[in-house]
Amino acid sequence: MDVLELDSFLNQSFLDLEKIDENLFRSKTLWKHKIARGVYGGQLISHSLVAASSGFPEDQHIHSLHSYFLRQGNTKFPMLYYVDKTRDGNTYCACSVKAVQFGQTVYTMQASFKKSEASNISHQITKPTVPPPEKLKTPFEILDILKQQELISSQRHEMGIEWFQDFPMETRWVSPDTIYAFQPEYPKCLIWMKARGHIVPTLSVGIPHLPSGKDLHQNVHKCCIAYLCDMLLLRTSLMSLSSTANSVFMASLDHSMWFHAPCHADEWMLFEIEAENTGDGRTLCHGRIWDINGVHITTVSQEGVLRVNSNL
């Protein structure tokens, strides 16, 4: 994907909302993966963050969000985003966002923003020691090897290639065998990820208070990270399943994120994901994201429906 295509991806994915009123926005494009039943959850998250960001001053940055997925969204009809400011303080501001379609709430979010401030205390969890992304194979190379070794069928190979091609994210899997778990394993993986292409200075954002330029506003990068990471979280729980579990249904229930430091979604980030608990038709996954220099930039948690075979 080249620069122009990434510009189009950003706009169509989450930046290109139509402002109808002061606190009301409408989607222009909704996307779902071919194997999914409804609108991609990461798009609902990022759309809601963009709508929320438009109502606060430029120096207010997203630092956390907590949200629930309530219904499937339909890609053939627009989504309405209603924003309600709940706090407008000097340092911290907050709002709620409700995504509505056909008069029913599809998704809700509580988001908090804050001004940067100096601090005389600092602590973070250390980034795992892993090979750099340039030393690792692409997922396409891994899938080709698995097919050549007859570990996956031609159909599964084609489905895997399509899955990675359809989504505008580059990944490098630290352990190639975590792409497909052939035997039940502890559900934890490490993945390098970034937006495919570059978020360039000439990108036209078109949202109040989010300027274009060399230092593209941090809220744009955070929206992009929210869009990307939702694709990888729940699938980690599949590593603990038997290879006989051919029919799997997954859907997001809730999603929370905390942003700890400035970030750049078009540069390599290390994503550590662990499925902490699976049972009762649900799975809970936690993730941490570091930048290439080892700065802990984001923490994310997500619970989802997970049903296998006859329990679909």
CATH of the domain at 93: 2.40.160.210
Residue 36 falls within a domain, yes or no? yes
From the list 43, 60, 67, 302, the catalytic residue is 302
Mark whether 212 is an active-site residue: no
Residue 284 falls within a domain, yes or no? yes
List strands edge to edge, sheet with 24-27.
17-21, 24-27, 80-88, 92-101, 104-114, 61-69, 248-259, 296-308, 282-291, 269-279, 188-195, 169-173
Residue 26 has pLDDT above 90, yes or no: yes
For 113-153, how does the pLDDT look when each residue is reduced to its tens digit (9 = 90+)?
Answer: 999 888 888 999 999 999 999 999 998 898 998 888 888 88
Q: Please state, as a whole number, how many other Cβ atoms lie within 10 Å of the Cβ of residue 253.
A: 18
Quote the pLDDT of residue 198.
67
Residue 2 has pLDDT above 60, yes or no: no
* Contact by Cβ (8 Å): 285, 302: yes
> Residue 278 sits in which domain range?
3-116+132-311
Once rounded to an integer, what is the mean pLDDT over residues 145-168?
Answer: 84
Residue 121 falls within a domain, yes or no? no
Residue 21 falls within a domain, yes or no? yes
CA-CA distance, 88 to 114, in Å (whole number)? Answer: 10
Residue 161 has pLDDT above 90, yes or no: no
Quote the pLDDT of residue 212.
44
From the list 230, 237, 266, 291, the catalytic residue is 230
Once rounded to an integer, what is the mean pLDDT over residues 274-287?
Answer: 95
Quote the pLDDT of residue 74.
93
Quote the pLDDT of residue 174.
95
Taking alpha carbons only, the member of 50, 41, 43 closest to residue 71 is 41
Residue 72 falls within a domain, yes or no? yes
Once rounded to an integer, what is the mean pLDDT over residues 16-22?
Answer: 87
Residue 33 falls within a domain, yes or no? yes
Taking all residues of the chain, what is their mean pLDDT, rounded to a whole number? 86
Residue ranges in 113-153 assigned as alpha helix (H)? 139-148
Quote the pLDDT of residue 42.
93
Once rounded to an integer, what is the mean pLDDT over residues 61-89?
Answer: 94
For 197-254, how does the pLDDT look when each residue is reduced to its tens digit (9 = 90+)?
Answer: 766 543 334 444 444 444 457 888 899 899 999 999 998 998 888 555 567 888 999 9
Once rounded to an integer, what is the mean pLDDT over residues 76-105?
Answer: 94
What percent of the chain clears pLDDT 70, i.e. is strictly above it? 87
The CA radius of gyration of the chain, in Å to the nearest whole number, is 19
Mark whether 252 is an active-site residue: yes
Residue ranges in the chain assigned as alpha helix (H)? 3-10, 41-53, 139-148, 154-166, 218-229
Quote the pLDDT of residue 311.
55
Which pTM does this prediction carry? Answer: 0.89
| Alpha carbon distances (Å) from 129 to 179, 218, 264, 275 | 20, 27, 21, 20
Residue 288 falls within a domain, yes or no? yes
Confidence category of residue 8, pLDDT binned at 50, 70, 90: low
Quote the pLDDT of residue 218.
84
Structural domain count, the chain: 1
Residue 245 falls within a domain, yes or no? yes
From the list 13, 53, 101, 252, the catalytic residue is 252
| Alpha carbon distances (Å) from 148 to 106, 178, 247, 262 | 43, 18, 25, 42
